[in-house]
Amino acid sequence: MALSAPANVRAPSRVGTLIGRAARSREVTLAAVVVVLSMFVWFEAPNFLSSTNLISVTALTAIIVIAAVGEALVIITKNIDLSVESTMGLVAFVVAEMLKGQNIPLPAAWALGIGLGLALGMANGVVITIFRVPSIVATLGTLSIYRGLTYWVANGQEITTSDLPNGYTDPASQTIFGVPLFVILAIAVVIVAALILRYTVFGRQVYAVGSNAEAAATIGVGARSTVFLVFALAGMLAGVAGVLWGIEFGQLYASSASGESLAVIAAVVVGGVSISGGSGTVVGAAIGALFLGLINNALTVLNLPQEWLQVIYGAVILLAVVTDALVQMRTQRAKARSRMR
């Protein structure tokens, strides 16, 4: 990487800057933690890095990554979307219900599912930007409403693999050159979102609204339209995640994806997106999701006592965030010191 030492002796200051920049970037430190942790677990349990295990873990993580990209956009605008799990659950169930009840082609069912996610996200956006309800309250409401709709659609039934087309769950385990299909899709989503955030006017508006909505407004950035769009996109991505959810599990309950909102938000926050808005990247959120997915798997692979899994899981999250904060503090202090010199 950037750390391969240049031959030029007068360069150390530049190298120092690069190291500093790398260390200050949450993405790099977290990726390093992921690598170190994987090595450690691999040493203890060689099967951790077996291709079957990695494919299983990353396919599941890919779903969270896609939802986390949407959530990251929302959180960067200093909002939050708690309804993501209900959107995923409703979309997953409705798609399966369509496939079960009607002879509707797969792509059409998937497209309708993603469209439903978009509509649910837009509904969030309307409540937040037009009725001016704080996003945490609005999405707490829709978290419940969308889940309630799923119960209504489900009507006490569950959908099983035998209700779905033959081989419906196969894509979940398919790979291209050893990389799971879901992972390729997730990477594509992350890249597109990262490019949009970095290089488009909309992308800059997302950060502007999140760091200072009033200031953004004075320079003509419409906070409301930006926030509306961000929620619509988050809904759409939750819709994609919901479709993948159905393919991954093949068994849909009215309660499917319950509790995943916290996993998605945790991924975003661990990935370095500031909960107070205006900073962070979708790449960080994706690495955050990968980190949490691997931790979850590793704790069990290591045969740690089941009673302690949740405690250790939480502790590892805090450790990652605190380590990162310490590294950042240190590099900032070093920077300040070098400035004083």
Partner 1 sequence: MFHRLPRAAAGVALALVLAGCSSSATPTPAPVITPAPVITPAPATPTAAPATPTAAPTATPCPTGGITGNIVMLPKQINNPYFDVAFKGAQNAACDLGGTLTEVGPSSADATLQIPFIQTATTQSAKAILVSADDANVIAPALKSAMAAGIKVVGYDSSPAVGAYSVFVNQADTAGIGKGLADMACDEAPNCTGEIAVLSAAQTATNQNAWIAAMKTTLTGSKYAGLKLDGVYYGNDDPTISTTQTTAMLAAHPNLKVIIAPTTVGIVAAAQVVTSQNLIGKVFVTGLGTPMGMQTFVKSGAAPEFALWNVTDLGYLAYAVAVDLLNGTIKGNPGDTFTVPSLNGGAPYTIGANSVVVLGPPFVFNAQNIDQYVASFGF
CB of 125 or CB of 250, closer to partner 1: 250
Q: Is 279 in the site for partner 1 (CB under 8 A)?
A: no
Cα(126)–Cα(280) distance, integer angstroms: 25
Between residue 37 and residue 76, which ones bind partner 1 under the rule CB under 8 A?
Answer: 45, 47-48, 50, 52-53, 55-57, 60
- Judge contact between 243 and 163, C-beta under 8 A: no
Between residue 184 and residue 243, which ones bind partner 1 under the rule CB under 8 A?
Answer: none
Q: Is 25 in the site for partner 1 (CB under 8 A)?
A: no
CB of 310 or CB of 332, closer to partner 1: 310
3-state secondary structure of 252: strand
Q: Is 82 in the site for partner 1 (CB under 8 A)?
A: no
Q: Is 306 in the site for partner 1 (CB under 8 A)?
A: yes
CB of 71 or CB of 97, closer to partner 1: 97
Q: Is 258 in the site for partner 1 (CB under 8 A)?
A: yes
Among 16, 160, 200, 334, binds partner 1 (CB under 8 A): 160
Least spacing, CB of residue 123 vs partner 1, in Å: 16
Q: Partners of 176 in the beta sheet?
A: 179
Q: Is 178 in the site for partner 1 (CB under 8 A)?
A: no
Q: What angle (nearest 5°) sits at the alpha carbon of residue 45, between those of residues 42 and 50?
A: 65
Cα(94)–Cα(115) distance, integer angstroms: 11
Q: What angle (nearest 5°) sits at the alpha carbon of residue 279, between those of residues 277 and 280?
A: 115
Q: Is 265 in the site for partner 1 (CB under 8 A)?
A: no
Among 122, 158, 196, 211, binds partner 1 (CB under 8 A): 158
Q: Is 303 in the site for partner 1 (CB under 8 A)?
A: yes
Dihedral (CA of 190, 196, 202, 203) sign: positive
- DSSP result, 66-122: HHHHHHHHHHHTT---TTHHHHHHHHHHHHHHHHHHS---HHHHHHHHHHHHHHHHH
Residue whose C-alpha is closest to residue 240's, from 116, 336, 61: 116
Q: Is 302 in the site for partner 1 (CB under 8 A)?
A: yes
Question: In terms of C-beta density within 10 A (0-12 exposed, 13-18 middle, 19 or more buried), how is residue 134 classed?
Answer: exposed
Q: Is 155 in the site for partner 1 (CB under 8 A)?
A: yes
Least spacing, CB of residue 58 vs partner 1, in Å: 11
Cα(191)–Cα(197) distance, integer angstroms: 10
Cα(327)–Cα(130) distance, integer angstroms: 41
Least spacing, CB of residue 154 vs partner 1, in Å: 7
Q: Is 251 in the site for partner 1 (CB under 8 A)?
A: yes
Among 189, 209, 238, 254, binds partner 1 (CB under 8 A): 254
- DSSP result, 28-50: HHHHHHHHHHHHHHHHH-GGGGS
Between residue 111 and residue 150, which ones bind partner 1 under the rule CB under 8 A?
Answer: 144-145, 147-148
Among 65, 186, 221, 301, binds partner 1 (CB under 8 A): 301
Half-sphere exposure of 153 (CA within 13 A, CB side): 25
Least spacing, CB of residue 21 vs partner 1, in Å: 35
CB of 18 or CB of 184, closer to partner 1: 184
- Judge contact between 255 and 143, C-beta under 8 A: no
**Interface contacts to partner 1, rule CB under 8 A:** 45, 47-48, 50, 52-53, 55-57, 60, 94, 97-98, 100-102, 144-145, 147-148, 151-158, 160-163, 169, 172-173, 248-251, 253-260, 263, 296-303, 306-307
